[in-house]
């Protein structure tokens, strides 16, 4: 046992020295390797973080949303529709909602205008007040107490005073949000008092969502009922698809890298070949040489992986993945300057390792063996 | 097909494993045809030399298979939100007919590769390559298993679609369900725990005797396989409900979740190690020729100790789950 | 005692460039003696050394070391026998550049799992013994030819081999260093080591310490004296 341990220690030690003896070659390899880990890791960590954000957003939404449909298109719900849903068993709360989009030509961005629901006491507003998301505040240089002017497509003006700015912890969701008071909203969009964008239904027991949706559909046949699970799946599928596409593009980079690794490992310099021959001749067996060389590969992998992961992590969580944002996010014009909640997830790290370290080690196995199996008598000639 | 990074990683790993074993399989055929230890000819020297490569790459594949088994289970759990009705890995695995077969294939490959590496280690310690033919014939068995596993996995991932309606653990491991899962779930927890405890005592006892001869090693191997089955049954019938502190939640996969502190890994890891070691020691004892007896005995004993360790840890972890739980199933 | 029976070594067997480097050698090498192989260039001396030293397997024939058949052993056991029995001094010394004298000397012992401390003590002891006390941490490319050879000899002795094999030990040395080498060889013989060398250098072949002179030609032994 002890000898086996000492043997490993000596071989590891030897591997460190042999790496140190060829600093340029090995640092170059580490740099390229780390870059590959960084690219793949950034895409993965970013995709996972965005999916988590979306899950947070959906988790805070209602279990069930009812939308009026006319000829297959979304219509406004009426107060009578809301009343028709009253008394449904298993429903805790029914809340009509008012929200809509506004293209702001000044900021060249889309805002989501919304009336905070009656149950949301924390964001209750008086007439003429607004609460804005982090992205809006940044684009329009707003702070609590400043004035926000909005112009509707019909040319209506809305002048509000910013009451507060939403915190950035779920910035992806709320970044483009502008909360205004109900009568301001109706006046701004010229809405009659009995229409609503949709109806949020909170269900007491999450397991009954499907049943409640069925029963509600019977009462309001003109409405579409979307469950939270539906939205989660749609969002999940959308993000995954983008991420997968980016990774597929990077697969080329990975392959090129594996070929490079193979080439580096097989194209040893004459000096290195001579060294291995000497080691074999003075009493190392093939297994010892393979161990030492795989230790070298492991050290290179470990170092490059560490650098790459730290880089990707910093890139995603502190620089908002500046390099990939356009590819991955796609639909929003207002990028939140979010601190995406930094997390370390074992599944993501393990996946990244399997996508990068495994191909590298697999690529060097055969060349390493080929050099290690060199005839020990070669150095005599 | 769902482009999740873990899926891409698993497919990459499966392809690497398949390529490695295809190459090794071709080599195995060559070796079985031409092996002649008495010859000093270059072909023989070349064959001997290449065995080092095969040992190295198959060891690499075993590590890969073990990692991919864990990743597969972990990822199945994570993907559950994508499927209607899925709450944990069971729902994800049920979302395609290839799901559970893939899992079983992965488990079989893990044990087979474990046993092969045990043969390889012992062969490496004999002067006359005593196990070389058995080992390479075994490789010809291992290679198709790895292909089948890879093909199932690929079929599974290609078949997966978001929005598939699937049934989850509540259905599969519900007490009133007719299938195997239901039978296990409705098994009397006291009986299930008693059976696995008895099995563990037998297996651990045989583990100490494993170096005494072929009979004990074979008995130990059988006992390990039996304990594996009994342990899975006990997890469904009793241990999992204790972990969830809910008498009707029987799922053997939810215990892998973060909510339960990844407790399942502490339970499954020693169980898999012990089972792998038990199977390997039996395989070793039954194929080792007399010339390799001494070396094989040392290895069998070592595997026996590993199995004992795994079984003891499993028993302690299961006991801890029962004792620290606020649930009482057995009065 | 090393015994060779009908040893042959054929390179590129069955191909057009087939070479029979050693063609049927029977030879006994006595323990604790100095044996020298000589013969014209290409006569198979080095090849025979590699077979005796378990660096290569004979194509046919047997090699026994102290009665144990080594010619059919798998590589790892051949290596085991090799590092327990032989120490090698190569014609071009074959030290690893970029490593210190000390690191070169310990190389053969690394896979054996010897404790680090005792290994270093032993290596430093050997280097001091060969008058290299102030060269221990010097990178080997900065050593003179004679010093390099003594480092190579120290390396050959780190695992306490019973047999020291040296291929053309004086080919890379100038005149006065040859005497120094002979002194070391004599000391090795005195401490009970078996020494096996190849050489065409008359200062070696005619030296007083040589117990046995084996002459080869065309892969065969043509004369053994005495
Ligand atoms: N690996 C090899 N492949 C092919 N031919 C070889 C190989 N090694 C040696 N030979 C041939 O075998 C013959 C014997 O070579 P060897 O090196 O043993 O001779 P030698 O007696 O040591 O010669 P020298 O005095 O020049 O060192 C030579 O003809 C050589 O070309
Ligand atoms: Mg020569």
Q: What's the pLDDT tens digit per position in B290-322?
A: 888 888 888 899 999 999 999 999 999 988 888
The CA distances from residue B62 to B15, B118, B120, C2, C173, in Å, are 14, 11, 12, 43, 52
* Single residue among A227, A253, A286 that ends a domain in this structure: A227
pLDDT of A106: 72
Distance CA C170, CA C90 (A): 10
A4: its two tokens: 């086996």
Q: Is C79 on the interface with B (CB under 8 A)?
A: no
Q: Is B53 on the interface with C (CB under 8 A)?
A: no
Checking if the pLDDT of C103 tops 90, the result is yes
Helix, coil or strand: residue B73: helix
Q: How many other CB atoms are found less than 10 A from the CB of residue A232? A: 19
Is the bond into B170 cis (omega within 30 degrees of 0)?
A: no
pLDDT (tens digit, 9 = 90+) per residue, C120-175?
Answer: 999 999 999 988 889 889 998 898 888 898 999 999 999 999 999 999 888 877 77
Q: pLDDT tier at A61 (50, 70, 90 boundaries)?
A: confident
Q: How far is the CA of C47 from the centre of ligand 1 (A)?
A: 6
Q: Is A237 on the interface with B (CB under 8 A)?
A: yes
* Beta-sheet strands, E only, within chain C: 2-11, 19-29, 34-38, 60-65, 68-69, 86-89, 163-167, 194-198, 212-217, 220-225
pLDDT of B72: 92
Distance from CA of A257 to the nearest CA of C (A): 29
Nearest CA in chain A to B48: A373
Residue nearest to atom 13 of ligand 1 (CA): C21
Q: What is the dihedral of CA A184, A186, A190, A192, to 10 degrees?
A: -150
Q: Which of B148-152, B158-162, C80-84 shows the highest mean pLDDT?
A: B148-152
Among candidate residues B206, B279, B191, the one with its CA nearest the CA of residue B237? B191
Interface contact C57-B40, CB threshold 8 A: yes
Checking if the pLDDT of C92 tops 90, the result is no
Distance from CA of B320 to the nearest CA of A (A): 25
Residue ranges making up the domain that contains A132: 63-227
Return mean pLDDT, chain B. 86
Among C111, C162, C171, the residue to mutate for chain A (most A Cβ within 10 A): C111
Q: pLDDT tier at A334 (50, 70, 90 boundaries)?
A: very low
pLDDT of A172: 54
Q: How far is the CA of B230 from the centre of ligand 1 (A)?
A: 66
Distance CA A218, CA A84 (A): 11
Q: How far is the CA of C167 from the centre of ligand 2 (A)?
A: 7
Instruction: Report if residue A291 sits inside a domain.
Output: yes
Q: How many C-alpha atoms does A129 have within 13 Å on its Cβ side? A: 12
Checking if the pLDDT of B223 tops 60, the result is yes
Distance CA A75, CA A62 (A): 19
Instruction: Report if residue A232 sits inside a domain.
Output: no
Q: How many C-alpha atoms does A51 have within 13 Å on its Cβ side? A: 25
% of chain B residues with pLDDT over 70 = 94
Please, what's the largest Cα pairwise distance for chain C? 53
Please give the average per-residue pLDDT across B54-72, as a whole number: 90
pLDDT (tens digit, 9 = 90+) per residue, A73-120?
Answer: 888 888 888 888 887 777 888 888 888 888 877 767 778 888 888 777
Please give the average per-residue pLDDT across B149-172, as a whole number: 82
Q: pLDDT tier at A168 (50, 70, 90 boundaries)?
A: low
Please give the average per-residue pLDDT across C81-99, as a whole number: 89
Instruction: Report if residue A369 sits inside a domain.
Output: yes
Q: How far is the CA of C33 from the centre of ligand 2 (A)?
A: 21
Q: Is C81 on the interface with B (CB under 8 A)?
A: no
Q: Are residues A21 and A97 in the same domain?
A: no
pLDDT of A333: 38
pLDDT (tens digit, 9 = 90+) per residue, C164-215?
Answer: 999 988 887 777 788 888 888 999 999 999 999 998 888 888 888 889 999 9
pLDDT (tens digit, 9 = 90+) per residue, C23-50?
Answer: 889 999 989 899 999 999 889 999 999 9
Residues B89, B76 contacting (CB under 8 angstroms)? yes
pLDDT (tens digit, 9 = 90+) per residue, A124-155?
Answer: 888 888 888 887 888 888 888 888 888 888 88
Q: pLDDT tier at A268 (50, 70, 90 boundaries)?
A: confident
pLDDT of A336: 44
C34-38 vs A195-196, strand pairing mode: unpaired
Alpha helix (H) residue ranges in C109-174: 116-129, 145-157
Distance CA B234, CA C19 (A): 69
A151: its two tokens: 């112009």
Checking if the pLDDT of A220 tops 60, the result is yes
Checking if the pLDDT of B256 tops 80, the result is yes
Instruction: Provide the b/e sequence for A329-340 (b: ≥16 CB within 10 Å).
Output: beeeebbbebeb
Domain boundaries, chain B: 1-167, 169-331
What total number of domains does chain A contain? 2
A195-196 vs A77-78, strand pairing mode: antiparallel
Q: Are residues A198 and A251 in the same domain?
A: no
Q: In terms of C-beta distances under 8 Å and separation of at least 24 residues, what long-range contacts does A153-156 make, across chains too?
A: A153/A102, A153/A103, A154/A190, A156/A187, A156/A188, A156/A189, A156/A190
Please give the backbone phi and psi of residue C217, each rounded to the nearest 5 degrees, phi first.
-155, 135
Residues A185, A115 contacting (CB under 8 angstroms)? yes
pLDDT of A11: 92
pLDDT of A337: 45
pLDDT (tens digit, 9 = 90+) per residue, A63-73?
Answer: 788 888 888 78
Interface contact A281-C90, CB threshold 8 A: yes
Among candidate residues C4, C2, C23, the one with its CA nearest the CA of residue C62? C4
Q: Which of C56, C80, C108 sits opposite A282 (nearest CB)?
A: C108
Q: Are residues A108 and A20 in the same domain?
A: no
Among B31, B36, B40, the residue to mutate for chain C (most C Cβ within 10 A): B40
Ligand 1 pocket, residue C11 CB under 6 Å: yes
Distance CA B326, CA A243 (A): 43
pLDDT of B108: 94
Checking if the pLDDT of A204 tops 50, the result is yes
Ligand 1 pocket, residue C21 CB under 6 Å: yes
Contacts with A221 (C-beta within 8 Å, 6 or more apart), sequence order: none
Q: How far is the CA of C218 from the centre of ligand 2 (A)?
A: 13
Q: Which of C59, C74, C77 sits opposite B40 (nearest CB)?
A: C59
Ligand 1 pocket, residue C56 CB under 6 Å: no
Checking if the pLDDT of A17 tops 60, the result is yes
Residues A260, C133 contacting (CB under 8 angstroms)? no
Which of A186-200, B175-189, C79-93 has the lowest average pLDDT? Answer: B175-189
Interface contact A369-B56, CB threshold 8 A: yes
Q: Which of B1-5, B94-98, C25-29 shows the highest mean pLDDT?
A: C25-29
Distance CA C138, CA C187 (A): 26
Q: pLDDT tier at A373 (50, 70, 90 boundaries)?
A: confident
pLDDT of A329: 55
Ligand nearest to the CA of C39: 1
* Single residue among A199, A227, A255 that ends a domain in this structure: A227
Residues A49, A252 contacting (CB under 8 angstroms)? no
Report the complex ipTM: 0.90
B184: its two tokens: 């296990």
Residue nearest to atom 29 of ligand 1 (CA): C42
Q: Are residues A67 and A211 in the same domain?
A: yes
Q: pLDDT tier at B175 (50, 70, 90 boundaries)?
A: low
Nearest CA in chain C to A291: C111
pLDDT of B64: 92
Q: What is the dihedral of CA B128, B130, B131, B136, to 10 degrees?
A: 40
Neighbours of ion ligand 2 (CB under 5 A): C 46
Q: Are residues A203 and A321 in the same domain?
A: no
B23: its two tokens: 């190459």
* Single residue among A182, A208, A227 that ends a domain in this structure: A227
What total number of domains does chain C contain? 1
Checking if the pLDDT of C104 tops 90, the result is yes
Q: Name residues 332-351 of chain A within 8 A of B (Cβ).
A: 346-348, 350-351
Q: Are residues A244 and A364 in the same domain?
A: yes
Residue ranges making up the domain that contains C185: 2-225
Q: pLDDT tier at B111 (50, 70, 90 boundaries)?
A: very high
- What is the domain-level CATH number for residue C52? 3.40.50.300
% of chain A residues with pLDDT over 70 = 88
Burial class (CB in 10 A: 0-12, 13-18, 19+), C81: middle
Among candidate residues B225, B247, B195, the one with its CA nearest the CA of residue B115? B225
Residues of chain A with Cβ-Cβ distance to C96 below 8 Å are 275, 278
């Amino acid at each position: 046992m002890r000898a086996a341990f000492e043997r490993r220690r000596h071989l590891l030690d030897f591997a460190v020295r042999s790496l140190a003896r060829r600093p340029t070659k090995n640092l170059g390899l580490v740099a390229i390797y780390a870059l590959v880990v960084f690219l793949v890791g950034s895409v993965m960590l970013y995709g996972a973080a965005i999916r988590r954000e979306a899950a947070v957003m959906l988790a805070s939404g209602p279990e069930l949303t009812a939308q009026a449909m006319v000829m297959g298109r979304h219509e406004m719900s009426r107060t009578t529709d809301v009343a028709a849903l009253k008394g449904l068993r298993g429903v805790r709360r029914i809340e009509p909602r008012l929200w809509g989009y506004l293209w702001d030509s000044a900021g060249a961005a889309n805002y989501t205008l919304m009336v905070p629901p009656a149950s949301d006491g924390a964001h209750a507003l008086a007439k003429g007040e607004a609460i804005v998301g982090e992205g809006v505040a940044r684009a329009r240089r707003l702070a609590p107490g400043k004035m926000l002017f909005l112009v509707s497509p019909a040319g209506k003006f809305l002048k509000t005073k910013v009451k507060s700015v939403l915190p950035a912890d779920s910035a992806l969701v709320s970044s483009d949000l502008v909360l205004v008071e109900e009568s301001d909203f109706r006046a701004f969009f010229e809405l009659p008092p009995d229409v609503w964008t949709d109806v949020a239904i909170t269900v007491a027991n999450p397991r009954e969502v499907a049943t409640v949706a069925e029963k509600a559909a019977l009462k309001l046949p003109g409405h579409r009922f979307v469950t939270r699970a539906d939205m989660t799946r749609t969002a999940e599928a959308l993000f995954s698809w983008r991420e997968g596409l980016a990774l597929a593009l990077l697969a080329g980079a990975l392959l090129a890298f594996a070929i490079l690794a193979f080439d580096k490992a097989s194209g040893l310099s004459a000096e290195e070949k001579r060294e291995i021959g000497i080691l074999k001749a003075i009493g190392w067996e093939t297994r010892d040489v393979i161990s030492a060389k795989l230790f070298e590969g492991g050290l290179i992998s470990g170092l490059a992986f560490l650098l790459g992961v730290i880089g990707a992590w910093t890139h995603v969580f502190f620089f908002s993945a500046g390099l990939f944002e356009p590819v991955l996010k796609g639909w929003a014009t207002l990028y939140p300057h979010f601190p995406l909640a930094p997390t370390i997830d074992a599944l993501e790290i393990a996946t990244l390792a399997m996508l990068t370290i495994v191909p590298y080690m697999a690529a060097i196995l055969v060349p390493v063996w080929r050099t290690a199996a060199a005839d020990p008598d070669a150095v005599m000639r | 097909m769902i482009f999740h990074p873990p899926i891409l990683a698993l497919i990459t790993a499966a392809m690497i494993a398949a390529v490695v074993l295809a190459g090794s399989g071709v080599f195995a055929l060559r070796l079985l045809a031409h092996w002649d230890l008495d010859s000093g000819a270059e072909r023989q020297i070349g064959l001997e030399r290449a065995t080092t490569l095969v040992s190295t790459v198959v060891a690499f594949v075993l590590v890969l298979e073990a990692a991919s088994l864990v990743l597969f289970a972990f990822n199945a759990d994570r993907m559950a939100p994508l499927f209607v009705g899925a709450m944990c890995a069971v729902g994800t695995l049920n979302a395609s007919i290839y799901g559970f077969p893939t899992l079983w294939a992965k488990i079989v490959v893990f044990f087979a590769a474990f046993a092969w590496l045990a043969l390889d280690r012992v062969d490496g310690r004999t002067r006359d390559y005593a196990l070389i033919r058995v080992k390479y014939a075994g490789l010809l068995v291992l290679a198709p298993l790895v292909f089948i596993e890879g093909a199932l996995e690929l079929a599974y991932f290609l078949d997966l679609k978001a929005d598939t309606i699937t049934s989850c653990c509540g259905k599969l491991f519900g007490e009133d369900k007719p299938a195997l899962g239901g039978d296990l779930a409705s098994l009397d927890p006291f009986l299930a725990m008693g059976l696995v405890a008895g099995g563990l005592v037998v297996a651990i006892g045989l583990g100490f005797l494993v170096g005494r001869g072929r009979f004990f090693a074979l008995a130990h191997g059988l006992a390990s396989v039996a304990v594996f089955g009994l342990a899975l049954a006990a997890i469904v019938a009793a241990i999992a409900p204790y972990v969830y502190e809910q008498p009707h939640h029987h799922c053997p996969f939810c215990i892998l979740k973060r909510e339960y502190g990844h407790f399942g890994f502490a339970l499954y890891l020693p169980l898999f190690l012990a089972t792998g070691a038990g199977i390997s020691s039996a395989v070793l004892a039954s194929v080792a020729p007399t010339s390799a007896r001494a070396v094989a005995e040392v290895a069998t004993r070592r595997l026996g100790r590993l199995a004992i360790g795994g079984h003891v840890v499993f028993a302690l972890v299961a006991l801890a789950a029962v004792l620290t739980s606020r649930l009482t199933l057995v009065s | 005692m090393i015994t060779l029976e009908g040893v042959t070594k054929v390179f590129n067997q069955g191909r057009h460039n087939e070479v029979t480097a050693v063609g049927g050698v029977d030879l006994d090498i006595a323990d604790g003696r100095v044996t020298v192989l000589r013969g014209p260039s290409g006569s198979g001396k080095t090849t025979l050394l590699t077979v005796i030293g378990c660096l290569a397997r004979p194509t046919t024939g047997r090699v026994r070391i102290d009665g144990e058949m080594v010619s059919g052993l798998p590589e790892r056991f051949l290596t085991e026998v090799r590092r327990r029995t032989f120490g090698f001094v190569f014609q071009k010394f074959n030290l690893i550049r970029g490593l210190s004298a000390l690191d070169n000397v310990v190389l053969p012992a690394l896979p054996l799992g010897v404790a680090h401390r005792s290994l270093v003590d032993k290596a430093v002891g050997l280097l001091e013994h060969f008058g290299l006390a102030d060269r221990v941490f010097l990178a080997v490319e900065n050593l003179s030819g004679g010093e390099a050879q003594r480092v190579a000899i120290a390396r050959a002795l780190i695992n306490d081999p019973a047999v020291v094999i040296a291929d053309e030990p004086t080919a890379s040395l100038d005149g006065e260093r040859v005497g120094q080498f002979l002194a070391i060889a004599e000391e090795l013989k005195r401490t009970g080591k078996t020494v096996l060398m190849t050489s065409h250098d008359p200062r070696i072949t005619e030296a007083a310490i040589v117990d046995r002179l084996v002459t080869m030609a065309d892969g065969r032994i043509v004369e053994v004296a005495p």
